[in-house]
Amino acid sequence: MQAQAEARNAAAQAQADREARLTASKSKPVPAADEAPAADEAPAADEAPAAEKAPAVEEVVEEAPAAEEAPVVERAPTSAAEPPYGEGSHAALENDEQPEGFSIKGNTDSMLYHNTDSPHYSRTKAEVWFASEDAAEAAGFSKPASQQTSDDTTES
């Protein structure tokens, strides 16, 4: 009787150890062939009690250290009160309309701006608007090469 009680206690402890390892490592459970009988099951007549079996080799699983997360740089949302490219600029409106006082269209991919005299003005979708060419140039935008004149390229 005492041997059976010890076998059940050993089986219960082995089960608890397996569950703890499983929870800690989040891995697959130990295959059924290696498992001892559950605490409420008696060993089969042809099997030796669990206490007399050779101890199972415990698998040591260490969790990998968490990968360092790259810092996330988020650009603050722009609003009408916050010019996206400094003074004289205005964020594009959701309805694609021209903000009052801003007639220069800026393309952020090409960093080019188009004034109302540009042949590309009507087909350019403004990603940013500028109040003047000076404001666009101060923000790092430039006229398309085909639109530049000798006055545009010479600084006084």
pLDDT tens-digit map of 73-108: 444 444 456 899 999 999 999 999 999 999 999 999
Distance CA(97)–CA(149), nearest Å, equals 29
Identify the pLDDT of residue 115: 96
| SS3 category, 104 | strand
The label of the residue with tokens 């009507």 reads 122
2, amino acid identity: Q
What does pTM read for this prediction? 0.47
